[in-house]
Structure 1
Amino acid sequence: MENTTRISPISSIAHSATKTEIASLFGLALVHAWIYAFNTSNEATYPWQYVYLAIAAAMLALALLSRKHAAFITSKPACAIAGIFGMAAPLLAFVAHSNSLGTLPLIFGGIFVGWAYSIWGIAYSRFSTPQAIFLLFVSGILAAVLKTAFFLTPEPIVQILLAILAPFALFSGLSACTVSQSIPRGALRFAKKDVKSLWKVGAIVLVFSVVNANLLANEQIHPAAMTISAFLVARAAEIFLCACILAWTFLLKKPFNFVQLWRIILVLLATDIVVRIAFPGIAFQPLFSSVCVNFIVLFVWLTLSDIAQHSDIAPSVVFGIGWSLYTIPLFAGVTITQKLGTQTTEALFLALLLYFMLIVSTFCLELRDRDIQLIFSDVNADAAPMPQEFADIDTRCANLAEKVHLTARELEVMQMLCKGRTKAYIAESMFVTENTVKGHTKRLYAKLGVHSKKELQQLIDLE
């Protein structure tokens, strides 16, 4: 398989987008920096992990809602309301003193971040894997810079900056959705009927999230109380690892796969555990947990982007369920560990965590697993063959559309139907209702003289 990273990762976008639109493609950095600063800049007494439960609830609710109202997530009035939640959360967190009021910022913050992630999930579901890698890890570098700026800024000003930043994070996502609409969809690899085969992916995300949650809950030094030198080393490590992945993929033009990426997390988590056992209380220890959180987030996001790009499941559903596999175990792990008390910091408990993580990794991170090989196969020269190959599907559809005088929308619907997409998926991708897609499909079938998706695909195959 040809390594698609030899082509500039955003060349297909840059020629038709303005500079502002191109800049908006890196706006996911705003969301990542926002949630980090929101959780660490406040030293309030409320349990910070509940914001992750709120994120999961918001994304799952939006995924359910989008099945009947595909355009709702990206509608400007709805995004404006989500932006208000994002603006209110840091301001309330700063002034909150009672426990009853202290939980309100977490709910507001969770709704905002969940909404922002859902919008960005739709945008990333349209990017090819090379494009997603480039945008995601450059955004990771930008997020590290923003985290540093927030860390060095007095807390009252940070809360004001977060309030200002919230609407920009949402509307840059909307801009990215608009720009990404022109990108052709990838070939279908993960159909609904095959989704159960990805259980190993879910198991890895869940287990690594639980382990990292236990480590976060037992940190002896709060991230906000880290020394400047320790904090800067942690951010430098994030930038260095992001730069390494970018260099490996685009400068050295080397393939990589799901297993390689998650083995990086395995090494980071294992290093964190060993350091806690061998050097308890060391000042630089929190940087390992911080870097692990960052890269679990990036790798989960990249994995979900690839699955959504090559699936007939709506992007909001892929990201809603997939992101919950990260956030809910994180919430549960931190909460349970805090209730168990300081006994969980003992060396035996940490050793058991390491052992459990290694066992699960041994069985789930298998290079020969066919379903695992399909993930990131756009940049993996050794990937297994795709179940369906539509190398020239867009060209064939365009040629047929010209003959029968299809509209641009009908052509777009035809291309997606021929790739196996569902009407719900098409509706969310086009930011319209499912009834609108049904109308385009009915007219499309009438013009072509077919009665089903199968007949349409057969017609295209014979063209």
Structure 2
Amino acid sequence: MRFFKTVQPCNLGLMCIHIWIYCSTHRAIPAEGMPLMTVMYLVLSVSLVAMVFVERAKPLAERTKRRVDVASAVCMACAAFFLTFPLPFSGASTTFLGAVLGGVSVGWTYARWAEFYAELDIHYAAPLVLLTMALGSLAKTVVDLLPPVPATVVLVCMPIVAYVTLYRSTASVRPALEPYRYYNSRTIMSLWRVGFGIAVYSFTVGVIQSMPLAQLASTGVVAIVAKHAGEIVVALALLAWVVAFKRGLSFGRIWNLVLVLMATALIFTPYLEDVLSGYLFTFVGVAQTFVIIILFLALADIARHSSYQPITVFAAGWLAYTLPFSLGDILGESLQAITPDASMAMAAIVWLLVIVTLLFFDESSAGKRLIFTELNDEGDEDTPAKRFGAQQEALNEEKAADMLSLRCTALAKELKLTPREHEILELMARGRSKTYIAEAFFISENTVRGHVKHLYAKLGVHSKQELVDRVEQTEVRG
């Protein structure tokens, strides 16, 4: 297997973040009235929003990033200490402090690793992240079973190991061909259905996490081993699928697997005895770990083929997971106070997940189909990635400051057209068809027709020829 001959051990450092965030929160010393996960994920969400605004305003220099790395590692180490070490004054205050420090720093550490993954060819990145998931779950099992003090020592060291391996990985990154940049300002919104679907899924997991049954599933040596064993089996099965069988990954089919795991646990758990239901409920944890690792890989793949900075892409995409999770956790606590019977809530969650999977994770959007698409290329001359990538490059070249572009810009300012209407106006003025425009924006032809209808109304025209004449009559003022 070529992958196993070329994989570098330092590239597996991403597992340190998985180990840290899982074990730090699940081994945290209980604090009455202190919602650890809610606080950590809310703070994490705020830090992700800050990353998006900072990177969009002015990307940070590498020297500045290194300084933030040091602060992030220190914060994560302190957070692990406050959360898991049995201090004489441990309680709500130390748990809150640990949650805040962890939330501020863990998102940045993930984002820095996302930068590295965005440089990798997907044929190396995909098996690498799956191997990372398998080894990380194995390591989580060991840390979960350690006594408190040794476990704290390990978790305090994890952030340091994460950054040391990151720097080694960045210095020895495998060269990859220059990717097509088919995600840009005109196409990025084609991913909104994916983002919304992930948000709904994360919200439901947040609700589930606050149910009494979720606590049952996380206790006991057998339950811990069963959960992590399930994660390892799923990761190794997909690793064999990608490496041994040389098959690709479909984002829609991956979510079908997630749905099967979640539905199996939620449908049958209420009808089993407590011990058996607790073991079956580990399927929810397996699905959650699987979603986290696949979402990370998907964001890295999007960043690699995007005109945006990798940190911006990661922060915006990860926010779709973290914020709904914390809100779902809050709602779950409220539902638990209203009714202790979780059967109806579980049935509603299964129904919601089925609807979301059917409506938001199908293959109807070109932007969604392009996620992981290079895994399926197999050296073909004509592939979706190449076709859409070449089209976006051609469109960018057309936006050079020729007279037609200047006239469209002047007309757009005069009529206060939206950015989308402006670009559609220019493409129509160049003689492009509705089919071409739909492919250029990764949207349906019906959506294009709607934009054209609004455009005609604003321009006061009734046909494409009248639109072209209107553009040609527009004066460009110096």
Give, in angstroms, the shift of residue 297 of structure 1. Answer: 0.3
2:35 aligned partner, one-letter code: P
Counterparts of residues 59-458 of structure 1 (less than 5 Å): 59-67=48-56, 68-72=58-62, 75-93=65-83, 94=85, 95=87, 97-180=90-173, 182-220=175-213, 222=215, 226-279=219-272, 281=274, 282-341=277-336, 343=339, 345-381=341-377, 384=384, 386-389=386-389
Secondary structure of 1:36's partner? helix
Deviation at 1:73, TM superposition (A): 7.9
1:388 positional shift: 4.3
Deviations 1:269-322 (A, max 9, x none): 111211223226323134122212101101211211111111111111111010
Q: Is the 8 A contact 2:29 2:90 kept in 1?
A: no
How does the TM-score come out when normalised to structure 2? 0.74
CA distance in 1, matches of 2:128, 2:63: 22
> Relative to 1, partners in 2 of residues 1:247 and 1:98: Cα closer, same or farther, differing over 3 Å?
closer
Distance change >3 Å, CA 81–CA 369, structure 1 → 2: closer
CA RMSD of aligned residues (A): 2.7
Residue pair 1:122, 1:177 contacting (<8 A) in 2 also = no
Secondary structure class of the residue paired with 2:319: helix
Asked which structure has the greater RCO (Cα within 8 Å, sep 6+), the reply is 1
Q: 1:183 to 1:137 in 2, by over 3 A?
A: same
- Does the 8 A contact of 1:374 with 1:386 survive in 2? no
Task: Find the counterpart in structure 2 of residue 47 from structure 1.
Answer: 35
Measured in 2, the distance between the counterparts of 1:387 and 1:344 equals 54
Check conservation: 2:218, 2:224, Cα contact below 8 A: no
- What's 1:455 paired with? none
- Cα distance in 2 for partners of 1:106, 1:288 equals 26
Partner of 1:413: none
**What displacement does 1:196 show?**
0.9
Q: CA deviation at 1:336?
A: 1.5
More displaced stretch, 287-296 vs 61-70: 61-70
Q: Mark the CA change 1:194 to 1:147 in structure 2 (over 3 Å): closer, same or farther.
A: same
Gaps of 5+ in 2: 400-478
Q: Deviation digits for residues 377-404 of structure 1, max 9, x if unmatched?
A: 101359635444569x9xxxxxxxxxxx
Q: What percent identity do the matched residue pairs reach?
A: 22
Runs (5+) with no aligned partner, structure 1:
1-6, 394-416, 421-463
SS in 1 for 2:172: helix
Asked if 2 retains the 8 angstrom alpha-carbon contact of 1:185 and 1:309, the reply is no
- Pair 1:204–1:386, CA change in 2 (3 A): farther
Q: 1:373 to 1:381 in 2, by over 3 A?
A: same
In structure 2, how many angstroms separate the alpha carbons of the residues matched to 1:355 and 1:221? 19
- Is the Cα contact below 8 Å between 1:337 and 1:344 reproduced in 2? no
Distance in 1 of aligned mates of 2:95 and 2:22: 18
**Distance in structure 2 (CA, Å) of the matches to 1:384 and 1:31:** 34
In structure 2, give the amino acid aligned to 1:35: I
Deviations 1:134-180 (A, max 9, x none): 11011001111111111110122211211112111123223323333
Structure 2 residue matching 1:25: 3-state secondary structure? helix
Q: Distance in 2 between matches of 1:37 and 1:61?
A: 26
Deviations 1:210-229 (A, max 9, x none): 12222221142537952212
Question: C-alpha displacement at 1:241, in angstroms?
Answer: 0.7
Q: How many matched pairs?
A: 381
Task: Indicate the residue corresponding to 2:445 in structure 1.
Answer: none
Contact 1:89/1:105 (8 A) holds in 2? yes
Question: Separation in 2 of the partners of 1:269 and 1:74?
Answer: 42
Secondary structure of the residue aligned to 2:187 is: helix
SS at match of 2:90: coil
The answer (yes or no) to whether the contact 1:86–1:167 under 8 Å persists in 2 is no
Contact 1:192 1:311 in 2 (8 A): no
State the one-letter code of the partner of 1:321: A
Asked if the contact 2:213–2:278 (Cα under 8 Å) also holds between the matched residues in 1, the reply is no
Distance 2:326 2:266 in 1: 20
Question: Contact 2:75–2:105 at 8 Å: present in 1 too?
Answer: yes
Quickly say closer, same or farther: Cα 1:344–1:311, change in 2 above 3 A: farther
Shift of 1:369: 3.2
Q: Note if contact 1:214-1:337 (Cα within 8 Å) is conserved in structure 2.
A: yes
Read off the aligned partner of 2:53 and give its amino acid letter: L
Out of 12, 18, 21, the residue aligned to residue 32 of structure 1 is 18
Q: How many Å separate the matches in 1 of 2:389 and 2:215?
A: 50
